[in-house]
Chains A and B, each alone.
Chain A
Amino acid sequence: DAGVIQSPRHEVTEMGQEVTLRCKPISGHNSLFWYRQTMMRGLELLIYFNNNVPIDDSGMPEDRFSAKMPNASFSTLKIQPSEPRDSAVYFCASRRGWEGAGELFFGEGSRLTVL
């Protein structure tokens, strides 16, 4: 089975540009998480979806960040306008079920550099 698929793997952009990151979760998984990883702050949960509905977006840094999940097989994380401090690796992860013991399965990540 295919794992969690993210694109692009690498993105270099200039400050002020719009960035869109994409994620395809594992088929049958109904929980989806977007994380950001930096050296300074470690792994931060940005937003959590269950059955395509955003349940917790308290980790979204500010209004420049938005996320959608239009269907069970696709999610996007958008940054507009981007800033240098947004440079990080963004991971998407999925899990079967809403709570309980299942572990998260992570994508390969999208490394974002904002100049």
Chain B
Amino acid sequence: ELKVEQNPLFLSMQEGKNYTIYCNYSTTSDRLYWYRQDPGKSLESLFVLLSNGAVKQEGRLMASLDTKARLSTLHITAAVHDLSATYFCAVGMDSNYQLIWGAGTKLIIKP
């Protein structure tokens, strides 16, 4: 059974700091997704990672995938208040429609 663990589940940080959210999963997978959710809002796709060593960046967010370690990271550089949200990773099961979701990391960035 594929399990996905995110940590930390809650993160409060100051603007301008760097931090990393981790997403570990338990079995092989061929794709990993990062989503953002603002309070009371929908889930917005941030990144799709499809291969070992994949790295994608958008603004202050950078996501990477290590399929051998079964680990993805979401790195935040010089955080700003607008990045406050809950971030989810989701792992795709090989050749299957299913996505297994992490519990989410609630990120609060204080001015």
Contacts and interface: CB of A to CB of B under 8 A. Distances in A.
A91 B43 contact: yes
Pairs A-B, 10 closest by C-beta atoms: A103-B45, A106-B43, A106-B42, A43-B101, A108-B42, A103-B48, A101-B31, A101-B50, A42-B103, A99-B97
B77 to A, nearest CB: 23
Given A42-B103, A108-B42, 9 more contacts: A42-B104, A48-B98, A55-B97, A56-B97, A101-B30, A101-B48, A101-B50, A103-B48, A105-B45
A31 interface: yes
A95 to B, nearest CB: 8
A109 interface: yes
A98 B101 contact: no
Interface residues of A, number: 21
A104 B45 contact: yes
Contacts of B101: 42-43
A55 B97 CA distance: 10
Interface in A59-112: 91, 93, 98-99, 101, 103-109, 111
B97 A98 contact: yes
B43, B50, B99, B103, most chain A CB atoms within 10 A: B43
A43 B97 contact: no
Contacts of A103: 33, 45, 48
Interface of B: 30-31, 33, 40-45, 48, 50, 88, 92, 95-99, 101, 103-104
A45 interface: yes
A84 B81 CA distance: 35
A67 to B, nearest CB: 16
A105 B44 CA distance: 7
Contacts of B45: 103-105
Contacts of B103: 42
A53 to B, nearest CB: 12
A104 B31 CA distance: 13
A108 B41 contact: yes
